[in-house]
Structure 1
Amino acid sequence: MSFNILAVGQSGRLEFEAILLAASLRHSDPGFTGKLCIAEPQPGGKWPGDPRMTPRTRALLADLGAEILPFKARVFGADYPNGNKIEALLALPEGPFLFLDTDTLVTGPLSTIPFDFTRPSASMRRENTWPQVELYGPTLTQTWKSLYDRFGLDFASSLDPNQPAEYWQRFLYFNAGWFFHESPARFGSRFLAWATEIRDAPPAELVCQEIFPWLDQIALPLVIHSLGGGRPGPELAALDGSATCHYRTLPLLYARESDHAVAVLEAVAHDKTIRQTLRHWEAMKAMVYRNKGRKVRAMFDRDRLPRREQVIRNTLKREGLWIR
């Protein structure tokens, strides 16, 4: 099945990540027949200055087979950069799509994954980040149910009955690092409308909750549930598995990801057609070209990693190895 891949690229770190994503797709899935679309916010709207990528990056992405999709951020922009992924959906040509955060490495063939694009889903590689229960505040059930009620959705059918009452994994909650559906127009318009309403007029039960930076992950399960989707099944295990690696930062990739992911990163990064451009990315220069990634890798046992990502981040910062 042919489908489009959508990611976001703009000036700074994201343009280097976009190059790495495009190059890793070509490296790991040469049989991919869809389009890789890099959505690029344009000057004006909610972005001050010029958020576009450099001409050199744009040319290199084109050489790697990517198509640049310009869009204007009218709702989020610099106020909430994660909103790029929401507004960019409306620039994508109609047809089945897979959204990938730009800080994703393709490590295997996406084209062989048996997607059911009529049943949307998203990444379960997440932590207990939202909501946070206050001592005298609403329960998790009350908080989540208020959102389902707001948008006229059936709350009970979204729950995982195998999880205990009030345990965070009982509730439908995703990482927004990847998600998919058959229609970017339907998915994107609903995502944008509901995220905007949660931002501007949240239910009373959210009064003590931090909305940012979690807004995309608050709205995402509601959109997916409303379109007949839910938690990913075993047929999607290659996402966040053998086919993709949502690394977030290069130091985190070296600290906790598989030997295969590191091998793909280094093979792609040393490709002479992109190396001269990637050398302008400070994290790439330090971690890969100056071999500091190997020092990071030796600091952690992948079989006994800390349960929370923040512990890894703090360790890297203490050692002067936290470079984005």
Structure 2
Amino acid sequence: MSFNILIIGQKGRLQHEAALFAATLRHGSPRFSGRLIVAEPTGPLWPEDPRIPTGPQRSLLEELGAEFIPFENRHFGAAYPHGNKIEALAALPAGPFLFFDTDTVITGELAELEIDFARPSASMKRENTWPRVDIYGPDLREIWRDLHIRRGGRLEDTEDRDWPVNHWRRYLYFNAGWFFGADPRAFHAAFLDAALMIRDDPPPSAVAQELDPWLDQAALPLAIHELGGGRPGKGGGVATDVFDGSHSFHYRYMPLLYATAPDHVIESLQSATAPNRIKKVLKRHEPFLRFLYQGKGERARALFDRENLPKREQAIRNRLRRENLWQR
């Protein structure tokens, strides 16, 4: 099955991450036959041009077969950059798509995967970040129930009954680091409508919730449920251990990658970034220079046992900071 890959391209940190993503895609998945689409935001909701400028990162992306497609921010823009992944879907060509955050590396052959794009799904690499429950209520179940009802869904159809009522894992909640679907226009409509409802006209139970940066993650479960999908392996059309597992790794920041990634991720990453034509571009971004090429990655990795990592990411960050190994 052929499908398109979508990432967001933007000047600054994302232009470097996009170059690394493309390098790992071509190395880890040489048989991928779809289009790698780098969607670039435009429009008056940005105080200055946010696109990737002409230069080594853009040239490397082009050399690696990326296609640049502009899209206009109509609802979010600089005030909420996470909204790019919602609005970029409207610019995609028809056909199955797979979205990745740029701070992701590809570590396996995507062409070998069996993905049912008609059953959308998304990343379960998340913590209990949204919604926040006040001691006086409403509780988690009430908030999620009201949100699903507002979108025409049924909370009962989304619950994972392996977890007790009001445990956050019982409710459909994703990280928006990757997601997929069969029809980008339909996904865009569902995702955008859910996000605008939560932002502009939420049910009373969700009025007091903090939405920055969580709006995309709050809206994504509603869209996926509306489109007939669910959790990976439990209603969603992909196995549980493929993305954020055997075939990709969402690292967020270089120190976290080296501290937490399995060995196969590090091995694939180092092979993908070894060629001189890749290295000379990536080393322009200081975190890549320090961690990929100057040994900080190995130092960070030596601090942690990947089989017994701290349960909270903040504990990992704190130790890296104490060792002067934190860099964004």
Match of 2:229 in 1: 229
| Greater mean alpha carbon deviation, residues 139-148 or residues 154-163 | 154-163
Q: After TM superposition, list the pairs within 5 Å mapping 1:86-105 onto structure 2.
A: 86-105=86-105
Unaligned runs of 5+ in 1: none
Q: Give distance in 2, aligned partners of 1:84 and 1:314.
A: 30
Q: After TM superposition, list the pairs within 5 Å mapping 1:5-84 onto structure 2.
A: 5-42=5-42, 44-56=43-55, 57-84=57-84
CA contact (8 A) 2:146 2:203 kept: yes
What is the identity, as a one-letter code, of the residue corresponding to 2:93? P
Match of 1:291 among 295, 305, 314: 295
What per-residue deviation string (whole Å, max 9, x for no partner) do you get for residues 258-295 of structure 1? 11111222222222112112111110011112111111
- TM-score, length-scaled by structure 2: 0.96
What per-residue deviation string (whole Å, max 9, x for no partner) do you get for residues 86-145 of structure 1? 011111101000011111100001121110011101111111111121110201011111
Q: After TM superposition, list the pairs within 5 Å mapping 1:1-324 onto structure 2.
A: 1-42=1-42, 44-56=43-55, 57-233=57-233, 235-324=239-328
| Greater mean alpha carbon deviation, residues 16-25 or residues 157-166 | 157-166
What per-residue deviation string (whole Å, max 9, x for no partner) do you get for residues 190-246 of structure 1? 211220221112211113321111101110010000111111117352111110011
Unaligned runs of 5+ in 2: none
Instruction: For residue 232 of structure 2, give the secondary structure of its aligned residue in structure 1.
Output: coil
C-alpha deviation, 1:317, in angstroms? 2.0
Q: Give distance in 2, aligned partners of 1:148 and 1:263.
A: 42
| Greater mean alpha carbon deviation, residues 229-238 or residues 178-187 | 229-238
Aligned residues: 323
Q: Give distance in 2, aligned partners of 1:58 and 1:236.
A: 33
Instruction: For residue 320 of structure 1, give the secondary structure of its aligned residue in structure 2.
Output: coil
CA contact (8 A) 1:86 1:188 kept: yes
Q: Percent identity?
A: 54
- TM-score, length-scaled by structure 1: 0.97
Query: RMSD over aligned Cα, in angstroms?
Result: 1.2
CA contact (8 A) 2:190 2:226 kept: no
CA contact (8 A) 1:113 1:236 kept: no
What is the identity, as a one-letter code, of the residue corresponding to 1:299? L
Instruction: For residue 41 of structure 1, give the secondary structure of its aligned residue in structure 2.
Output: strand
Moved over 3 A (4+): none
CA contact (8 A) 1:41 1:70 kept: yes
Q: Give distance in 1, aligned partners of 2:162 and 2:291.
A: 41
What is the identity, as a one-letter code, of the residue corresponding to 1:117? F
CA contact (8 A) 1:114 1:236 kept: no
